[in-house]
Amino acid sequence: MVLRVLRLTRVFRVFRLGKYNEIFLLFSRVVHQSMPAFFLMLFFIILSCCLFGTLMWFAEGGTWYPKGHEKLISSAEEGGLGITDRGAWLRHTGSKDSDDLEESKFQSIPHSFWYVIVTVTTVGYGDMYPRQQQSSGMQKTPLLGIGSLHLPTRMQRERTIRVVPTAQMPP
């Protein structure tokens, strides 16, 4: 057991390589100088999560049905969902039938943050998506995300160009 721990400490040798590697030092200097841009990006991502997450939850949250409500208890054949052990947020599925309900993926504002983060980073897993007509305009959030992620990346590139003398830049 002691030998395994000692062998594991060899992994930390990698961290000592940084002080001998000029490129690593250059990279750390650029990252250090770009910290204000990174904090600005983080601030805008948190702000957009709060704003758009709240808006999506209000648009897509649906209506709360407490435990034991007839729409939750009835089986799928009867137009219900078969949920018996808890309450649930239900939203309209978008069909012409007014009683066609499904459980909302946007169960709370923090749940909606996941949708905003996935949409802003343009990953788009497809596990959460808006169904309501009033939230269709909210699908424009990737444009804001691309802008907020692109700006700090561009600023870091400019810092790298300033830190590295042009004679040392590869072609």
DSSP string, 50-98: HHHHHHHHHHH--EEE-TT-HHHHS-GGGTS----SS-EEEEE-SSS-T
Model pTM score: 0.64
User: What does the pLDDT look like over 93-126, one tens digit per residue?
Assistant: 777 777 777 788 888 888 888 888 887 777 777 7
Kindly report which listed range (56-70, 72-86, 92-106) carries the lowest average pLDDT score: 72-86
pLDDT of residue 142: 60
DSSP category for residue 99 = T
pLDDT of residue 167: 41
User: What does the pLDDT look like over 27-55, one tens digit per residue?
Assistant: 778 888 888 878 887 887 788 888 888 88
